[in-house]
């Protein structure tokens, strides 16, 4: 009798465990996974519409691509084409949209972006709009239209998108700093990014100036207190608490790579005195 009771309890426990596992959302946004594991993530900036250049960036080792649609002439059609061309790349596509409008965010999510980077956040309403338009009901008002998101992330995309799409709010001005705590408190915000150069431009202060650093410290403190990711330029990798970084773009990386080769640095995987095989894919 006792053995039967134990067996019943064991079966019940296993059934409960299986049910709990089934309820766990499928997370395919590896950036979100890495941040949850306490790791730092770095994104390479992409402004070119060339799919080959995009794929080179997306497979170079970055955690995500920072697709630049605020300060470039990229169209959503071009962006969709290059993201689809590199389906399965290790870097997750993030898009810095021109603004937190319904049209911009719907197009970015429909093409398969799992990260929405919102520039110039100086009102709570702007970041609230970003969450609203990026999330499906009941957490938002994203409509279910056409797009390549299913081809990118699977047939269960509608059921899993809200758990995988990340919202990154950029603070670029003293006005944004002043409401940093309110920005970080908006449900659905995953990261707050300190735009170092613009913060200097809008404040008239240089990095290192005590007043500038006090603004950066304020954002730092409120964001970490909320348990969110804290972003900044790649040059800030050694600053305490920062774990989400924007690295340089394809132009600067091509330039630095060319300079290394011309200075005599060997190409990756090359053997001394042996020319690479033309047409061979880099490993």
Catalytic residues: 71
Instruction: Give the relative orientation of helices 51-58 and 250-262 as an angle to the nearest 10 degrees.
Output: 70
Residues 89 and 105: their CA atoms lie apart, in Å, by: 22
Contacts for 227-231: CB closer than 8 Å, 24+ residues apart: 228/184, 228/189, 228/190, 228/191, 228/192, 229/35, 229/168, 229/190, 229/191, 229/192, 230/191, 230/192, 230/193, 230/194, 231/168, 231/170, 231/191, 231/192, 231/193, 231/194
Check the CA dihedral 219-225-231-236 and report its sign: positive
DSSP letter string, 23-74: HSPP---HHHHHHHTT--EEEEEE----HHHHHHHHTTT-SEEEEE-SSS--
Residues 223 and 27: their CA atoms lie apart, in Å, by: 23
């Amino acid at each position: 009798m006792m053995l039967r009771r134990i067996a019943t309890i064991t079966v019940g426990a296993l059934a409960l465990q299986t049910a709990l596992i089934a309820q766990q959302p499928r997370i395919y946004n590896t950036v979100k996974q890495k941040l949850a594991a306490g790791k730092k993530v770095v994104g390479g900036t992409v402004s070119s519409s060339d799919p080959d250049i995009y794929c080179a960036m997306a497979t170079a080792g970055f955690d995500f691509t920072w697709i630049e649609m605020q300060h470039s002439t990229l169209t959503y059609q071009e962006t969709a084409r290059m993201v689809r061309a590199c389906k399965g790349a290790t870097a997750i596509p993030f898009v810095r949209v021109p603004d937190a409008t319904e049209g911009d965010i719907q197009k970015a999510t429909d093409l398969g972006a799992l990260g929405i980077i919102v520039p110039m956040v100086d009102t709570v309403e702007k970041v609230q709009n970003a969450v609203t338009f990026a999330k499906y009901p009941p957490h938002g008002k994203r409509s279910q239209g056409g797009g390549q998101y299913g081809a990118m992330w699977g047939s269960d995309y509608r059921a899993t998108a809200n758990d995988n799409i990340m919202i990154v709010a950029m603070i670029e001005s003293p006005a944004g700093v002043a409401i940093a705590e309110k920005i970080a408190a908006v449900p659905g915000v995953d990261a707050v990014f300190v735009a170092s150069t613009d913060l200097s431009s809008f404040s008239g202060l240089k990095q290192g100036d005590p007043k500038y650093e006090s603004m950066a410290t304020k954002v730092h403190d409120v964001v970490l207190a909320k348990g969110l990711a804290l972003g900044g330029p790649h040059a800030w990798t050694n600053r305490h608490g920062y774990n989400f970084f924007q690295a340089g773009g394809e132009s600067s990386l091509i330039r630095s790579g060319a300079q290394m080769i011309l200075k005599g640095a060997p190409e990756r995987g090359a053997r001394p005195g042996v020319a690479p095989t033309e047409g061979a894919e880099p490993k």
